[in-house]
Structure 1
Amino acid sequence: MSILNKPFNTPYNTAPFSKIKDEDFLPAFKEAIKNAKAEIDKIVDNAESPTFENTIEALDFSGEQLDRISSIFFNLNSAETNAEIQKIAQEVSPLLSEFSNDITLNENLFKRVKSVYDKKGEFELSVEQETLLDKKYKSFSRNGANLSEDKKEKLREIDKQLSQLKLKFGENILSETNKFEMLITDKKKLSGLPEGTKEAAYQLAESKNKKGWLFTLDYPSYIPFVTYADNRELRKKISLAAGAKGFKNDELDNQDNVIKIAKLRYERAKLLGYSTHAHFVLEERMAKTPETVQNFLNELLEKAKPAAESEFKNLESFAKELHNINRLEKWDSAYYSEKLKQKLFSLDDEQLKPYFKLENVINGAFTVASKLFDLNFEEINNIDKYHNDVLTYKVTNNNGDLTSIFYADFFPRKGKRNGAWMTSFKPQYVKDGTNERPHVSIVCNFTKPTISKPSLLTFNEVTTLFHEFGHALHGMLANTTYPSLSGTSVYWDFVELPSQILENWCYQKDALELFAKHYETGEVIPMDLIEKIKKSATFNEGIQTLRQISFGLLDMSWHGQNPSEITNVKAHEVVAFKRTNLFPEVAENCMSTAFSHIFQGGYSSGYYSYKWAEVLDADAFEYFEETGIFNKEVATKFKNNVLSKGGTENPMTLYKRFRGKEPKPEALLKRAGLLK
């Protein structure tokens, strides 16, 4: 029996990473699936008539071992993967997909669930229990329980294919990211780049036995290059490489995968009686229908487009005036935006970075959480890590009770996908009178320390850290009975509220003064810089909003209609972007083939939720601003009605209980400077 199938004799029941070998996973998965099936059989074979406890509750607590192994394995596949893990993922995904279908297509199990659902008035259920019952019933009815046998088989086949295609999509993007290297040997070509960026590039080249400065598509390398490098040709080279991921008609091409995924999702939705994949997904979202999403995005587009066009004209004239650029291209965007921002606000990231040493920012996030939610963070070294870079913390409340174990993983490396995300290794739930506490993790890709400098964050990286930490707080403060309703298990268009609201503290003097201190002198960030940060917060907000809307519209174009006529990914995308495009089209680039959020992650038909949650977060933060950003009463209301409740009730009910009213988009438009 694999170590993964036994109880972990570890501090706080943490994952024993150092003892797990790659070859342990496949047998562990098979054993855990067998055990989980036995648990399901026990529910089905129960001679007693179905009750909430012996059917719904038993079902929610089943497969605990399998869930634990899955979370450990798939988190490693994102943050610390290798060829062996990727191979296992391809083998395991169909098995898990098959197992999931074995549950939802199990007729006798569904009969028991339906029996409880039909008689729910006879059971005295709490609000949380009613929510769980509703969710369990829908997990069957929405996933084929009412289909005929031949259609159930078809569904199984589709799900198996989808699980493998999504994995392949992600593997291709990781390989593409790792493959690209741009070595610069002529120092003159580094003009404009910050010292820290050059030093990091030099060290990277050295680590690979190369002479010169090495740049890659990892964000801490790519973003500073396109933002600061004066050499336009090299900006173009690296920008084209980033935009062409999965779009080169080679062995890592994703065009076929994209079309297959979109068509299979549509086919699956039709099989289940829905018009499109978006109709299927949105039934269980705050937005409810594709029409609501389209109207929401179109309304925002109407408000943002005039501002975006005006900002773009300003950027064009500025580039023309500065360097006689006649046509602004995508690889000019970050560069001239940064130059214009410096001119308008006398502010640039290099000025700010010394005040944002990574360790200080982490402590700042902890202090904010402590002041708002009474949490205490203590770094501990008695638990296993999956990589030396990972930091581990014990989180307690003011009574000293364990709230959570927290893992933080901040630097890019070969086996780690780009971007930033929050995840968990163990959920929170209450069983046999014990409140099991969660193990939560955030993963980012920030600039590593160099020989001469610690890790200094750009302001954008600071807000990214606070964003992911907001998700982490949602996980840490979870206080529900059932694992499937705990923490971030909420409607997808509500899940970004805790993360996005926390970003607001990064712009506040009272919060910044807690942690924004010069890494050499200890001097607190000067007031004039704080003012500049606040003033520049809405700089090019129209362009940024248009960009987010364009991704939402692209997502809906793949999932909100019948994709069976789509044969050319690029041609389809050009049409989807028509109303939001500001820059000239780049023939060599394609967004869809690297749009991991919707083709690998869980955001299909859900990308709009970032803007949707911004409406909630702007409205919610306005409440904090009215009362003071560290007001304990408002923070406690937010903790008790939003953060701790998970998915136990309808999100709008929870939001109104916190805020006293429904959110209005005006707060967002005002904050973004889009309300005249």
Structure 2
Amino acid sequence: MVKVTLQYADYFPIMDNARNSKTRKRLFLAFKNKCKGNVPLFREMMILRDEAARLLGDANYAAYQLGDRLVTSPEKVNSFLDDLRCRLADRGAEELKRLKALKTADREGEPAGGEQYCLWDYRYYNRLLLEKDYQIDQQEIAEFFPLNKTLEGMLDIFSRLFGLVFYEVDASNQTKDLTWYPDVRIFHVWDDDDDGGEFVGYLYLDLYARDGKRGHPFNINLQPGFEYENGDRSYPSTVLLCSFAKPAGTKPCLLHHSDMVTLFHELGHGIHDLVRKTRYSRFHGTMTVLDFCETPSKMLENWCWLSRPLQSLSHHYETGEPIPQSMVDNLIRVKKVNSGLFYLRQLHISIFDLHIHQPPSHASILNTDITSTYNSLWQSITQMAGPSGETTATDTGGNDWGHGYATFFHLLSDYGAGYYSYLLADVYALDMFHSVFKSDPLNPEQGRRYRRMVLEKGGSQPEMKTLSDFLGREATTQAFYEELAIGGRSRIC
């Protein structure tokens, strides 16, 4: 018997690779039913948030939260989400049809039953599709992206684009009080000579998993930068926290492409944190309005889908060879594969988030069946079947089979009534990338311009002004809709 935990490190590989549908379903249900004690706490939080917003004179918690964001009302966000859902419906249906056909072929000769395409089928058949139709072997790709070498390549890209120099503090020269764990790495970050050679700040990298550490990668500010009254600066410190597997023997930690995208994204937050130059710490780095703060890092993710950056980041862990061009070409081809279904899943969470945070009355949230709402929206938006009627369904229309929302960190944090920010960040990020970087992604002149006009501004001026100043016009959805091949052009607000 093999012990399987409900940690991401066990859950995702099994959902990706377990051919037996019953195994996937069993693990899916266990994963969506963990931390049952959070369910009443989540409900209480929604009730208290709504009560607090109404006491402050707002219609609901969503209205309270959106008052000072880029998109200033729930109605505008709802309109954006509804429009995107309509535009994606046909694309999602076509992608689902293709995956259903793959499942039917995969199950040929098996007993009848299980013809529906279910929520626990997605990751398995998505992987199978990439392997069969696009020759994508994630394990083979990972061999070209050992963690430390890939990280060196990422820092080199940031150096070339933004005029930065990274000096690692030799571990033998570190005193014990400089870090909180022996394998934490520290970099002194400076402007290069062309940009004046001034000190920028400190970058900490805490990359490997250990007991008690959060599983998902994230970036946090340790010390914001600001200006003293005499004009001197206090320099920022930022840390990238990950939970990659520690190298076993002589074999290094190898990154799947999705891991690499996430690492580049979070490191982008760290760079935003470091280069920000504001007078007050309150507006430092990523301390922008919530529905803008993901935009800079979302834009940088595009470099992980381009041939030149992928070549420069790659380094086979045994031979040192770069990734073959044919493998790069195949990888780039799959960027948009099943992207409709991906964004429908993002829409599910965003729509649920806004729904529970904008009840028409306080009595309404008291009477809302949060579990049924979450699960029914998931199934209706993605058009994938759930296990309704097969587990503990009682009086909720068969949709009380799991409470995935109760462990969804964003909904319990400042991202409450704000998960749509990830979708909006993609809109703004693609607008900037297509307009400025797509034709020459490693152009140092444009990189420095982006640093000065976007990254260094932080939250010290209205973020919509930051966008329009950099673009030379108002931001639109055109590039985002073109990327998804769903057409159209409109302003967000």
Which of 68, 84, 88 is the matching residue for 1:304? 88
Q: 1:662 to 1:272 in 2, by over 3 A?
A: same
Matched, 1:403 2:200: yes
Which of 166, 171, 185 is the matching residue for 1:391? 185
Matched, 1:632 2:444: yes
**Residue deviations 1:534-583 (CA, integer Å, cap 9, x gap):** 11000100100000011000100111224533353312324544641322
Instruction: Report the Cα distance in structure 2 between the residues aligned to 1:220 and 1:485, rounded to whole angstroms.
Output: 36
Counterpart amino acid of residue 464 in structure 1? T
Q: Indicate if the aligned counterparts of 1:278 and 1:560 stay in contact, CA closer than 8 A.
A: yes
Instruction: Report the Cα distance in structure 1 between the residues aligned to 2:486 and 2:243, rounded to whole angstroms.
Output: 31
Q: 1:243 to 1:452 in 2, by over 3 A?
A: farther
Matching of residues 264-279 of structure 1 within 5 Å? 264-279=48-63
Q: Indicate if the aligned counterparts of 2:345 and 2:378 stay in contact, CA closer than 8 A.
A: no
Instruction: Report the Cα distance in structure 2 between the residues aligned to 1:388 and 1:673, rounded to whole angstroms.
Output: 48
Name 1:583's counterpart in structure 2: 384
Instruction: Report the Cα distance in structure 2 between the residues aligned to 1:535 and 1:406, rounded to whole angstroms.
Output: 34
Name 2:97's counterpart in structure 1: 313
Deviates more, 1:482-491 or 1:451-460: 451-460
Which of 73, 78, 86 is the matching residue for 1:294? 78
Name 1:595's counterpart in structure 2: 408
Q: Indicate if the aligned counterparts of 1:542 and 1:674 stay in contact, CA closer than 8 A.
A: no
**Residue deviations 1:81-135 (CA, integer Å, cap 9, x gap):** xxxxxxxxxxxxxxxxxxxxxxxxxxxxxxxxxxxxxxxxxxxxxxxxxxxxxxx
Q: After the TM superposition, list the runs of 4 or more consecutive aligned residues in structure 1 that deviate by more than 4 angstroms.
A: none
Name 2:259's counterpart in structure 1: 461
Matched, 1:224 2:13: yes
Rg (Cα) greater in structure: 1
> Post-superposition shift, 1:476?
0.6
Matched, 1:263 2:47: yes
Secondary structure at 1:531's aligned position in 2? helix
Name 2:153's counterpart in structure 1: 364
Q: 1:453 to 1:240 in 2, by over 3 A?
A: farther
Matching of residues 22-33 of structure 1 within 5 Å? none
Matching of residues 617-628 of structure 1 within 5 Å? 617-628=429-440
Which of 162, 182, 203 is the matching residue for 1:373? 162
Counterpart amino acid of residue 414 in structure 1? D
Q: 1:543 to 1:626 in 2, by over 3 A?
A: closer
**Residue deviations 1:309-361 (CA, integer Å, cap 9, x gap):** 11111111111111245233222211111001111111121121001110122
Q: Indicate if the aligned counterparts of 1:446 and 1:461 stay in contact, CA closer than 8 A.
A: no
Instruction: Report the Cα distance in structure 1 between the residues aligned to 2:332 and 2:150, rounded to whole angstroms.
Output: 18
RCO higher in 1 or 2 (8 Å CA, sep ≥ 6)?
A: 2
> Post-superposition shift, 1:378?
1.9
> Larger % of helix: which?
1
Matched, 1:330 2:143: no
Secondary structure at 2:29's aligned position in 1? helix
Matched, 1:424 2:221: yes
Matched, 1:343 2:155: no
Counterpart amino acid of residue 596 in structure 1? F
Name 1:663's counterpart in structure 2: 475
Deviates more, 1:634-643 or 1:317-326: 317-326
Q: 1:256 to 1:544 in 2, by over 3 A?
A: same
Q: Indicate if the aligned counterparts of 1:470 and 1:501 stay in contact, CA closer than 8 A.
A: no
Q: Indicate if the aligned counterparts of 2:161 and 2:448 stay in contact, CA closer than 8 A.
A: yes
Secondary structure at 1:407's aligned position in 2? strand
Which of 550, 569, 572 is the matching residue for 2:373? 572
Q: 1:567 to 1:611 in 2, by over 3 A?
A: closer
Deviates more, 1:427-436 or 1:269-278: 427-436
Length-normalised TM-score, structure 1 = 0.66
Counterpart amino acid of residue 480 in structure 1? T
Instruction: Report the Cα distance in structure 1 between the residues aligned to 2:240 and 2:383, rounded to whole angstroms.
Output: 34
Matching of residues 536-555 of structure 1 within 5 Å? 536-555=334-353
Name 2:391's counterpart in structure 1: none
Q: 1:582 to 1:389 in 2, by over 3 A?
A: farther
Q: Indicate if the aligned counterparts of 1:342 and 1:348 stay in contact, CA closer than 8 A.
A: yes
Name 1:92's counterpart in structure 2: none
Name 1:142's counterpart in structure 2: none
Q: Indicate if the aligned counterparts of 1:255 and 1:569 stay in contact, CA closer than 8 A.
A: no
Instruction: Report the Cα distance in structure 2 between the residues aligned to 1:444 and 1:489, rounded to whole angstroms.
Output: 21
**Residue deviations 1:241-285 (CA, integer Å, cap 9, x gap):** 2211233xxxxx111111111111111111111000000110111
Instruction: Report the Cα distance in structure 2 between the residues aligned to 1:347 and 1:457, rounded to whole angstroms.
Output: 14
Matching of residues 136-151 of structure 1 within 5 Å? none
Secondary structure at 1:580's aligned position in 2? helix
Q: 1:229 to 1:626 in 2, by over 3 A?
A: closer
Instruction: Report the Cα distance in structure 2 between the residues aligned to 1:395 and 1:234, rounded to whole angstroms.
Output: 48
Q: Indicate if the aligned counterparts of 2:92 and 2:382 stay in contact, CA closer than 8 A.
A: no
Instruction: Report the Cα distance in structure 2 between the residues aligned to 1:417 and 1:450, rounded to whole angstroms.
Output: 21
Instruction: Report the Cα distance in structure 1 between the residues aligned to 2:53 and 2:99, rounded to whole angstroms.
Output: 44
Structure 1, unmatched stretches of 5+, are: 1-182, 185-213, 248-252
Counterpart amino acid of residue 370 in structure 2? V
Instruction: Report the Cα distance in structure 2 between the residues aligned to 1:329 and 1:564, rounded to whole angstroms.
Output: 29
Instruction: Report the Cα distance in structure 2 between the residues aligned to 1:412 and 1:218, rounded to whole angstroms.
Output: 12
Matching of residues 139-218 of structure 1 within 5 Å? 184=2, 214-218=3-7
**Residue deviations 1:128-185 (CA, integer Å, cap 9, x gap):** xxxxxxxxxxxxxxxxxxxxxxxxxxxxxxxxxxxxxxxxxxxxxxxxxxxxxxx51x
Q: Indicate if the aligned counterparts of 1:286 and 1:491 stay in contact, CA closer than 8 A.
A: yes
Name 2:397's counterpart in structure 1: none
Counterpart amino acid of residue 97 in structure 2? K
Name 2:419's counterpart in structure 1: 607
> Post-superposition shift, 1:626?
4.8
Structure 2, unmatched stretches of 5+, are: 109-113, 388-399, 489-493
Counterpart amino acid of residue 224 in structure 2? P
